[in-house]
Amino acid sequence: MVKRQVTVSAPGKLFLLGEHAVVFDGHALLTAVDSRLRLRLTYDSEAEAKLKIHAPDIGLEHWESPLAEVLNRETYTGKSSFIESCFRLFHEQMPLHGCFSVRTQSDFGAELGLGSSSAVVAATLYALSQIFSSNLDRMTLFEMGLQAIQRVQTLGSGADLATAIFGGTIYYVNRVPRRVVQLSVDALPLLLVYSEAKAGTVNLVKQVQARYHQYPAIIEPIIHAMLNVVERGKSAIEAQDWPTLGELMYIQHGLLHALGVDTQALADIVFTAKMHGAYGAKLSGAGGGDCAIVLSAPEQQATLEDIFTKKSRRVLPFKPHADGVRIEALSL
């Protein structure tokens, strides 16, 4: 009888520049945040072949299914879909049998837009690779994870997933062969402000794609401008030139507004930041809600935080440049 257990964790993410443009075979800048999703995987080779999931953060408690059904499904839907898809992908590399129990606990909920689905995928595949000592490198894990995500929702640039797996602050290129370049940067003086609204990433990506097909001569130059912003932003981050990065953030937010994914709450956060002297601010992610980021001089952050609090905006504690997916405990 073989019983093994591993606990791993994966970080959330923030888009610094390039959201939506990255979907169009583009590139983006992201940073991993120290809010983490923890996943414990227990494996019993002799027990009845099942997959069990307990993930109360997403409303999934005491879910289970015969393992054979999971590994042979054609489509995956529902709250268990990303984990199921990971097991199917891993099974194609290394046949699975026995009983698997997955338990998750997250520092951040799906409503914040910090990439919870990608963190789950990164953690599930990494845990399986550790249980079976498969020594998969991070790029292989990323490629498997991207397939797992696309089997569930068909769309997905892989930017969230790359950040969850590699960690740090990255320049991500969504063109075959995809590239993840980790940037060397000591600081990133950001505030994270919640808009108090949940956004649906897939629907917003579809909305932007529909607008692109309706007005290609208008939307294509916007996407091209975003890609130029990303390139300039990469240089600014590497030089820690925060005033330039801030200007680029304001430009990126304006371009995202032109794509139709801005909201009144997000715009209010951005204009409040600008009015009170922040280097830059923008929505972070697909838009339609979730969070905005504000770049400011460190000595100004306490004042800005107080201003947002008085406007009933939550400033969320976080640190950038977090580790990618990692082992927390292992028992083989």
* Residue 137 is a catalytic residue: no
Q: Which helix (H) or strand (E) holds 120?
A: helix 116-131
Verify cis geometry, omega within 30 degrees of 0, for the bond prior to 177: yes
Q: Which helix (H) or strand (E) holds 3?
A: strand 3-17
CB atoms within 10 A of CB 203: 12
Pull the structure tokens for residue 21. Answer: 């443009």
Pull the structure tokens for residue 43. Answer: 């494996």
Q: Which of 44, 107, 160, 186 is catalytic?
A: 160
Query: CA angle 305-311-312, nearest 5°?
Result: 90
Pull the structure tokens for residue 97. Answer: 């049998």
Of residues 274, 276, 279, the one with CA closest to residue 237: 279
Pull the structure tokens for residue 124. Answer: 């599930």
Distance CA 174, CA 91 (A): 26
Distance CA 184, CA 172 (A): 14
Please give the positions annotated as active site. Answer: 160
